[in-house]
Structure 1
Amino acid sequence: MATLDKIRKQSVLLLVVVGLALLAFIVGDLVNSSAAFFSESSANVAEINGKNVKIRSYMEAIDQMTEVYKMEIGEAAIDDKITDQIHQSVWDMTVRDNILMRETKAINMTVSEAELYDLIMGKNIDMMISSRRMFFNPETNSFDPALVAQFRKMIDSDHPNPNISLEQLNQWKSYWKFWEDQVRMGRLEAKYGKLLYNLLVVNSLDAKNSYNNQKTTVDFVYATKPYLTLPDSVYTASNRELKALYNKKKEQFKQEASRDLKYVIFYIEPSDEDFANAEQWINELKPQFETTTEIGSLTNANSDVTYKGENLSKDAVDADFRDFAFSGKKDDCMGPLFVNNTYKMARIVETGIMLPDSVKLRHILVQQDTEEKTQLLADSIEKAIKEGADFAVMAQTYSKMSQTATKGGEIGWVKEADLENEMAEKVMKASVNEVFQMKGSYGIQILQVMERAAETPKVKLAILERKVVPSSATQAKIFQRAKQFAYENNTPEKLEKSALEQGLSCRPISSLDINQTRVANLKNSRQIVRWAFKNEVNTVSDIFECDDKIIVAAITGANEKGYRDLESVKDFLLNEIRRDKKAEAIKQEMSGKQIADFVADVAAGYTVDTLRGITFNTPYAGSVGREPELFALASMANQGQLSQPVKGVMGVYVFNVFNKVVSDQPFDKEAEVSDLTRAHYMLPYLGMDVLKKAANIEDLRYKYF
């Protein structure tokens, strides 16, 4: 009993412990679930008109476009500049597609499957499909719809070609889906644009008004006084006037969030000691370079320029050694030279070579599970071609190189430098139509030379070259100097003053956008943009390494999303108010005077001149430039009557029409309507632009890139 009583007493504690454990488990699971939910909901790269754009789908779009680009150019890698362009293109397409889908859905506008088929496989194939080199017939070098059909059949087949890997098949499917989607959205945008175009109808009144605006041509003499002839100091503006004009024009001052910076550049450049060391290095190697029997090994072990044993034509030889290379004999040497921060010398390895500069080539890349299977298939293909099989058909059927397989294996014209050494030697010496194999780590290539360029003299030339670059010690000194500079100059004012004293370049940059990929033309400077939006005004950065430059930056201004404040646009407002006040002053000064009075008053800043052939629609004329109000009033004025002063863009004018010609060409309603309708061609583009500006877009790319 004592034991049971003890257990009974402890059971309350046990229940509490178990209960707390269960509660902790439930709460933990709830917290984890909530965290996952909020993480998922916050993983948006944008919100466009209330619709979230998930970072995952956005990244998939970037990856897809990147792969399409690589397939288009036949390269495995792309540089940062192209990557930036792809990112921007995906963003532009994302915004366009979301806005367009919203607008077209509201009016039940779609692209039917029949429409899409006609644009990709039918009689009206879209340029986005017909301009793809993948669908060009190598024989005619033009678009071939049959290749599109063949491509579609290949990627849609329930029994795909066993010679095509699953990875390659998926790449082709993604490639096709990308262009199919582009055609679909392009067609939808065109239909919506056509709707906008047709909404604006030119009527009889529009046509008559256009005719009237052009039928009268005038010649007139005018006098003008430019605003700049009056001193700014006399014409000021009160705070009330500035504020009133600011409120009137406030929508012009709408802005996105941006930052203003100043940055100082420290160039990572070689020191005098680095130049001296490089000169000593090449002079010490010179005797060995001139006498060695292992020129390739010596050069490749020491030179910035690899020696590949290539046969070089005159154009391919370094210009500094060109005359020497084609006038000297084997083992002659030249240098060292010092050109563009580079020490270099050359040695002739072989002369008297006659080969073509380039050959037109096609190939079939054969890959199988094993070397034996690869060799067996390659031998079978080569044998079939030599017995009369169509090389292009064999390439389309068996080649693993997708970029060339659809073009019948055609690579095009290649130079020796484009090929690996062993292949180059064989290809350049092969006769036209000769078929042969080349083994590589990637498989076996079956090659055929289709055409050969004319043979030209060539040489083999070894070049020992070293560009003088900053040593580790030099770089360390530059880094230390930049760090010390950033530490000592902890305000924008100090930074600018110290840069001036030390002869450093201090540059301003205004309105830096949060999604800019770089600052000015600085490579690898996205890091500076991120820093600028995470820190306060007047903050000075630590050092940023941007390729061959070290940057120290300071935030001089922060412009938040909304409207620019009055102070930041004060000069613009003041200039406009001044112009209005000067115009009134000049008008009063001109009042009651004749043209002859202004001729005699040149010292007061007046100019008198003549304009001819002016109509209501004239946009620009002579030394006056763009003065639409002047031209419109002159075209409607009575001949021989002096006008009232006219406020123009650059000054105030008075004029007197001395010749007026009214065209006797009859009104042609159809011609006028046609001309005005043609002028509406920009409406679809302007319409999309208006929709983008009106859209509620929250751009969150800065969180991820």
Structure 2
Amino acid sequence: VEGVAAMYWNFLQENMETDRMFTSYSSLLAQSNIVTPVELRRNMEDNNITSNVSFSLTPVSFARDTTITVTQQEIRQYYEAHKHQYQQIATRDIEYVVFPILPSTDDIALAQANIEKIYDEFVASDNLRQFLARNSDKPLDTYYYKKGELSSVSAALDSFAFSATTRDVLPTYKENDFFRAARIADIKQLPDSVFVHHILLQRSNKEEATKAADSLIAILKSAPGRFDELAVEFSADKNPNTLPGVLGWFDQQAYIPGMESVFEAPLEKVFTIETQYGLHLVKVSERTRLHKKVQLAVLVKEAVAGKETYQIIYSRANNLSTESKNLEEFNRVAIQNNLMIIPAPGITQDAKTVSGYQHMREMIRWAFEAKYGAVSPVISVDNKYFFVAALNGIHEKGIATLQEKQAEIESLLTMEKKMERSYQQIREELASHTSLESWAEATGRTISTQTGLAFGSMQQTDPKFAGAVSAAAEKTMYGPIKGEIGVYVFRVDERLDGAYYTENDALQNAAYFSGVQIQMVPVVLQESAKVEDNRARFF
């Protein structure tokens, strides 16, 4: 034990030292990130000086254009000039087929027969808790529901619960793969929440605790206002984060197990409750409005896939896996059997989900261990699904290859050439026009307007357009200007100098970006120190 304690103490010391070092380092960076008066003034100007603009946009898209040719040499040159931008983490591309493990018609009929076999006994039972524990797929729910709360479980249950009496029974009905029958177990008028005070008595035996409780109750009968005072002196609950004797607001989803009776307790009455923590003197000082609440006993039988059904579904998945030796065969066999192939590109090594499916670590580990074109064995997930996957893409950590970025670069260069073509065309058109309106009318283009455009609001519009507008003189036509999404021709109709963006706004903005930078420190340090994160191998 001493050795374990020493190891733990050393661990704490090392952690504390590392934590203090990182805190000091982060503080150093935060304090050195100073906003100068010039930067502050510029930030305010960028957001307070706004322009009302008339403009025409000739959009340019990434769509393929047969009149534009991009050569392999151009793609390679662009890649070599920009490869530093193509750093990537290790990912895998897979495509997969999922086989849901669903009950057959026979399985559903069996579940129905099972619930009908015990329905009469359920109707007659005097001990619903015990009966459901023995016979139902779900035990008795002790929660007291108010009207509407059961709707998320079943609209039929909610409707029955608040229109029936304790003598009524909701006959068996089917919803999804569940067969249910229900009875009202109890009806009460209860609050949603109560404010609870307590004095926790922890003694060597129950007799001593009871004796102490009796003495305190006798004091409180004659002096009820001394509850908090006695809690300070006698309660074993010394939580420094709450007032003496205060447990706070409880509801049915957040309370100390064993204290269920507080929801029915009269206000200000002191009584005892025994829990795993000891004997409590309890008082309820406040409660919310009373509602009719119902405890419902629900007999549930779920239709699940039986052994035969399970084997049939597994056999279909296994056939796909064993008949597919590579990626091409995987696609061929899946199509022949009318199976839907789902693509899942860009899976990271530490991912836990794939296309919304949870608990997919086994398939992700397989993807990172397999070779390109490999087909997985049948992978079972949560006893709900079988998966068979094929690996159709491997992207290693580092700079992406030209082959990986080929299509992206070709699309980008195509857009650049289309942008240049539009730019030159508009430039030639503008040579014979002196106003935005005459050019637009002659070429059939539309003039739009935008008000309140500020340099600091680039996130709301094309940043290149916003930058050009901020530097332009009023009442003068400018263009063509290449933007992010097309070519602009514009005129600043009016420029306004406001004062709504204050120095305090600028300081808050600077503090926000400083916080973002601080959050990036661990990532930058990890990269610079070449730290390898291998947790995905074990989790």
What is the TM-score when the length of structure 1 is the normalising length? Answer: 0.62
Q: 2:441 aligns with which of 599, 602, 605?
A: 599
Aligned counterparts, 1:427-446, within 5 A? 427-439=262-274, 442=276, 444-446=278-280
C-alpha deviation, 1:686, in angstroms: 1.8
**SS of the residue 2:66 aligns to:** helix
1:472/1:444 CA distance change after superposition, 3 Å: farther
Q: Does 1:192 align with 2:24?
A: no
The corresponding residue for 1:375 is 207
The question of whether the paired residues in 2 share the 8 Å contact of 1:359 and 1:414 is answered with yes
CA distance in 2, matches of 1:660, 1:435: 74
Q: Which residue of structure 2 lines up, in the alignment, with residue 257 of structure 1?
A: 90
- CA pair 524-600 structure 1, distance change in 2 beyond 3 A: same
Unaligned runs of 5+ in 2: 221-225
1:348-387 → structure 2 map (5 Å cutoff): 348=184, 354=189, 358-363=193-198, 373-387=205-219
Determine which structure has more spread, i.e. the larger CA radius of gyration: 1
Given the alignment of the two structures, is residue 515 of structure 1 paired with residue 350 of structure 2, yes or no? yes
Report the counterpart of residue 680 of structure 1 in structure 2.
510
Higher relative contact order (CA 8 A, sep 6+): 2
Please give the secondary structure, in 2, of the residue aligned with 1:600: helix
Correspondence 1:702 to 2:536: yes
Aligned partner of residue 458 in structure 2, secondary structure: coil
Are the counterparts in 2 of residues 519 and 526 from structure 1 also a CA contact under 8 Å?
Answer: no
Aligned mate of 2:462, from 615, 622, 626: 626
After superposition, the C-alpha distances for 1:508-567 in whole angstroms (9 at most, x for unaligned) are: 222222222333432221122222222211111112222222111221111111111112
Residue 259 of structure 1 contacts residue 558 of structure 1 at CA under 8 Å; is this kept in 2? yes
1:465-497 per-residue CA deviation (whole Å, 9 max, x = no partner) reads 222222233223222322222111232333334
- Quote how far apart the aligned CAs of 1:460 are: 5.8
- Separation (CA, whole Å) in 2 of partners of 1:212 and 1:416: 52
Which residue number in structure 1 is paired with residue 320 of structure 2? 485
Is contact 2:262-2:284 (8 Å) kept?
no
User: Secondary structure of 1:619's partner?
Assistant: helix
Q: Residue 506 of structure 1 is aligned with which of 331, 337, 341?
A: 341
Q: Distance in 1 between matches of 2:48 and 2:108?
A: 74
SS at match of 2:341: strand
Matches within 5 A, 1:129-140: none
Structure 1, residues 183-221: CA drift from partner, whole Å, max 9, x if none? 9578536522333312x5344xx5786688689766555
CA pair 509-461 structure 1, distance change in 2 beyond 3 A: closer
Where in structure 2 are the equivalents of 1:253-652 lying within 5 Å? Answer: 253-307=86-140, 314=147, 319-348=155-184, 354=189, 358-363=193-198, 373-388=205-220, 390=227, 394=231, 399=236, 408=245, 410=247, 412-415=249-252, 424=260, 427-439=262-274, 442=276, 444-451=278-285, 452-453=287-288, 455-457=290-292, 461-547=296-382, 548-590=384-426, 591=428, 592-594=431-433, 595=436, 596-602=438-444, 606-611=445-450, 619=458, 625-628=461-464, 630-637=465-472, 642-643=477-478, 645-652=480-487
CA distance in 2, matches of 1:607, 1:229: 22
Q: Closer, same or farther in 2 for the Cα pair 1:509/1:593, shift >3 Å?
A: farther
Distance 1:310 1:211 in 2: 56
CA contact (8 A) 2:209 2:279 kept: no
Residue in structure 2 matched with residue 162 of structure 1 by the alignment: none
Any idea what SS the aligned residue of 2:379 has? strand
Change (3 A) 1:646 1:459: closer
Distance 2:244 2:359 in 1: 38
| 8 A contact 1:363–1:411 mirrored in 2 | no
Is the Cα contact below 8 Å between 1:219 and 1:614 reproduced in 2? yes
| 1:238 matched residue in structure 2 | 71
Aligned-residue identity in percent? 23
Q: Superposition RMSD on alpha carbons, in Å?
A: 4.4
Deviation of 1:683 after TM superposition, in Å, equals 2.9
Is 2:26–2:518's contact at 8 Å kept on the other side of the alignment?
no
1:81 matched to which residue of 2? none
Post-superposition shift, 1:325? Answer: 4.5
Cα gap change, 1:391 to 1:304, in 2 (>3 Å): farther
Partner residue, 2:520: 689
Matched-pair contact (CA < 8 Å) for 2:143–2:252 = no
**Deviation at 1:362?**
4.2
User: How many angstroms does 1:242 deviate by?
Assistant: 1.2
One-letter code of the match for 1:289?
Answer: F
Q: Deviations over 1:441-476 (max 9, x none)?
A: x46432413145555545565332222222233223
Q: Please name the residue that 2:223 is paired with.
A: none
Q: Once the 2 structures are TM-superposed, how far is the Cα of residue 345 of structure 1 from its aligned partner?
A: 1.7
Give the match's secondary structure for 1:273.
Answer: helix
User: Residue by residue, what CA displacement relative to the aligned partner does 1:229-283 show, whole Å, maximum 9, x if unpaired?
Assistant: 9962222222221111112211110012221111221111111111111122222
Query: Match for 2:532: what amino acid?
Result: E
Taking structure 1 as reference, are residues 684 and 403 closer, same or farther at Cα in structure 2, changes over 3 Å only?
A: closer
Aligned positions, number: 512
Q: Is the 8 A contact 1:358 1:414 kept in 2?
A: yes
Distance 1:433 1:607, change over 3 A: closer
Question: Contact between 2:271 and 2:283, CA under 8 Å: does it hold in 1?
Answer: no
Task: Give the distance between the partners of 1:319 and 1:230, measured in 2 at CA.
Answer: 48
| Secondary structure at the counterpart of residue 102 of structure 2 | coil
Cα distance in 1 for residues equivalent to 2:296 and 2:141: 9
Looking at structure 2, the residues matched to 316 and 633 of structure 1 have their Cα atoms a distance apart, in angstroms, of 56
Q: Deviation per CA, 1:291-346, whole angstroms, max 9, x where unpaired?
A: 34555443332123323787765566665245544554553323112223221222
CA shift in 2, pair 1:464/1:202, >3 Å = same
Distance 1:283 1:648, change over 3 A: same
> Separation in 2 of the partners of 1:677 and 1:308?
53
For 2:94 and 2:244, the matched residues in 1 are separated by 51
For 1:611 and 1:617, the matched residues in 2 are separated by 15
Structure 1: runs of 5 or more not aligned: 1-55, 65-173
Distance 1:518 1:231 in 2: 34
Structure 2 distance, partners of 1:662, 1:327, is 65
TM-score, length of structure 2 as denominator length = 0.78
CA contact (8 A) 1:514 1:529 kept: yes
Shift of 1:378: 4.3
CA distance in 2 between counterparts of 1:297 and 1:673 reads 68
Residues 486, 393 of structure 1: CA spacing in aligned structure 2 closer, same or farther, 3 A cutoff?
farther
